[in-house]
A = this chain, B = another copy of it.
Amino acid sequence: MQAEAIDVQAFKVGMGAPDDVSAAARLLDEGALRAQDVVAILGKTEGNGGVNDFTRALATLSFQLLIGRHSGQSVEQIARRVPIIWSGGTEGLMSPHATIFVRSAADPTLPDPGEKRLTVGTAYTRDLLPEEFGRLEHVRVAAEGVRRAIADAGIDDPADIHFVQIKTGALTTERVRDAASRGQTAVTADTYKSMGYARAVAALGIGLATGEIAEDRVSDAAIAQDLGLYSDVASTSSGVELMNCEIIVLGNSRRSRSAYRIAHAVMRDAIDAAAVREALRRAGLRVDCELDPAELPRLVNVFAKCEPDGEGHTRGRRHVMFDDSDINYTRHIRGVVNAVIASVTGDTMCYVSAGAEHQGPPGGGVVAAVVRA
């Protein structure tokens, strides 16, 4: 028996502040989308992206209240149904925004597009304990969740997975103490550093679920260390506001009659503009050195992960990010990759998240494009 055909849409809305949901509200008011069909939101907020970045919590609450007003659901119900994931930090020219993913049963009158089209699947995992956090159990919990999200998306071929986002938690001083009070140790007492462990275990979980990483190579010792292990489609982030994993899988599926398509490439380093062009072309856009301006309306968004080269050099030239005690390296590198992408697309409103441990080759990361087909 054939699984039901679905329709998927993606809307990018700018935000004037973390609690500015006015652009999304207009779409709901105009009937461009229905609140009950929203299945995931992925965006960038203008915080520091660090431990004390509360712009994410504010944006989440603001969107939950908006969806609640339009759907009649409570904030608690929405929190269990719709992953709303923010990467904090809009350095350089990066423009704060959200991409809203909508999914519904396909209107029977929609023609079969004759090719795989955009799909989205989601999942939630259980909360991790502080002592499990950033360790092998965290990898396993993440992997199991990703498998559920892939199934939810209706994807059966791993080659059709183009971007997997996990938001997971971070340790705080309180959580480290909580573990200690029960005779347990946390993987680190450095709260900023715990965000790196969080991203690492989530990425390894993605790699296990997509088959990119072999189960027997993943161990506690490998986490955040053996960077030869990675997933090319992983994008993970960390924030104190949760302790579980919230998962969004994006890909193409035969079941989807969406008007959208997704593709990806892998940046080998932070200035790899060629990979940006490649991702856009794979998604079906015309690109010379830059995206043909006539094609810009077809581009919904670009999603990228990035990190500085770990050796302190990029193409042989020293960078100072790791020695900067004023600005964390994640803040530096996000502005760089946003600039490289925008110099190709002409649009600074794209999603760039930093901290790419096990997400693409060291110093590089995924770049995916969602476009109107």
Contacts and interface: CB of A to CB of B under 8 A. Distances in A.
Contact of A312 (B177, B273, B318): B177
B57 A271 contact: no
Interface residues of A, number: 77
Contacts of A51: 323-325
A48 interface: yes
A52 interface: yes
Nearest to A88: B325
A347 to B, nearest CB: 7
Nearest to A91: B332
Contacts of A277: 289
A47 to B, nearest CB: 7
Contacts of A318: 14, 16, 95-96, 349
A53 interface: yes
A66 interface: no
Contacts of A298: none
Interface stretch (A29-37, A98-106, A334-342): A334-342
A90 B319 CA distance: 8
A50 B290 contact: no
Interface in A250-299: 270-274, 277, 288-290
Contacts of A317: 14, 93, 95, 347-349
Contacts of A110: none
A348 B314 contact: yes
A133 to B, nearest CB: 15
A2 interface: no
Contacts of A273: 273, 289-290, 343-344
Contact of A339 (B90, B274, B326, B340): B340
Contact of A48 (B49, B191, B326): B326
B16 A271 contact: no
B190 A90 contact: no
A90 B320 contact: yes
Contacts of A335: 91-92, 332, 335-336, 339
Contacts of A192: 325
A173 interface: yes
A320 B46 CA distance: 7
Nearest to A335: B335
Given A18-B57, A190-B193, A339-B339, 18 more contacts: A16-B318, A46-B52, A50-B326, A52-B325, A58-B58, A91-B332, A92-B332, A92-B336, A93-B270, A95-B320, A173-B311, A177-B311, A190-B190, A271-B339, A271-B346, A273-B343, A335-B335, A335-B336
Interface of A: 14, 16-19, 46-55, 57-58, 61-62, 90-96, 172-174, 177, 190-193, 240, 270-274, 277, 288-290, 308, 311-312, 314-315, 317-328, 331-333, 335-340, 342-344, 346-349
26 contacts: A17-B54, A17-B57, A19-B57, A48-B326, A50-B325, A51-B323, A54-B55, A90-B319, A91-B332, A92-B92, A92-B332, A92-B333, A92-B335, A92-B339, A93-B317, A177-B312, A191-B322, A192-B325, A271-B343, A273-B289, A274-B290, A289-B289, A315-B348, A317-B348, A327-B327, A335-B339
